[in-house]
Amino acid sequence: MPDLENLHQAVIEGNWKAAAAATQTALAAGSPPLTIVTGYLVPAMDEVGRRFECEEYFVPEMLLSARAMKASMDILRPLLAASGAEPAGRVVIGTVKGDLHDIGKNLVAAMLEGGGFEVIDLGADVAPERFIDAVAKGNANILALSALLTVTMPAMKAVVEAFRSAGLRDKVKIMVGGAPVTQQYAESIGADGYGESAATAVALARKLVAA
């Protein structure tokens, strides 16, 4: 499948035009959309994540790869929906109340989309009620919270508690991340998981969905 090998390569190299073209060619040659996602896009983004972990890639390379993946997904998503294929999971993501930083959160959202997740991005400075509303309406099974500042980290705890008070804590797995956040902090507020980087966030989300 030379077209699909090209797609895999285009995502790793962050070439969105080549990724879109290879996706169209592969579809025209009869490759099923789901195979393209699970067999080529997801492994390509895994490789990007590996390179990020090994520090061969930094944020710019990761962004370009995420964009290439998105170009391919934009073509595939309607076809997947029409065929009734389910996404890897539904994620509601946002930066917590009081915190306006969204670079890290955007990167995690892009990587999750690349990993085959449906992502509902609420942006930055999101109040607990909005997270609850979005999870309920979007039927999400994962909630991803970001904070860059030590002073806004406590808002993560407030979100976890709001889900508990609303009786929705069991409906959703909560993962947290951001510069000051640690595994220990995640455990202390009763979150289900902590992602150290955008790359590890995808693996964590898959683990949480499978659990």
Decide if 122 contacts 94 (C-beta within 8 A).
yes
User: In the β-sheet with 142-146, what is the strand arrangement from edge to edge?
Assistant: 118-121, 90-95, 142-146, 173-177, 193-194
Q: In the set 13, 39, 77, 98, which binds another protein (CB under 8 A)?
A: 98
- Which residues ranging from 15 to 54 are in contact with another protein (CB under 8 A)? none
| Nearest distance from C-beta of residue 125 to another protein, angstroms | 7
Q: Which of residues 104-163 bind another protein (CB under 8 A)?
A: 106, 125, 149-155
- Specify the residue, 136 or 149, whose C-beta has the smaller distance to another protein: 149
Site string for another protein, 183-202 (x = CB under 8 A): --x-----------------
103 binds another protein (CB under 8 A): yes
Which range, of 5-13, 55-63, 85-93, 166-174, touches another protein by CB under 8 A? 55-63
Instruction: Supply the minimum distance, in Å, between the C-beta of residue 130 and another protein.
Output: 15
* Residue with the two structure tokens 């895999």: 8
Spatial separation of the C-alpha atoms in residues 30 and 23, rounded to whole Å: 11
DSSP state of 169: G
- For the chain, counts of helices (H) and of strands (E): 10, 5
> Which residues in 60-89 contact another protein (CB under 8 A)?
60-61, 63-64, 67
Binding residue for another protein, selected from 28, 55, 82, 211, defined by CB under 8 A? 55
Per DSSP (E only), the strands in the chain are 90-95, 118-121, 142-146, 173-177, 193-194
CA distance linking residue 20 with residue 4, whole number of Å: 11
Residues near another protein (CB under 8 A) are 55, 57-61, 63-64, 67, 97-101, 103, 106, 125, 149-155, 180, 185
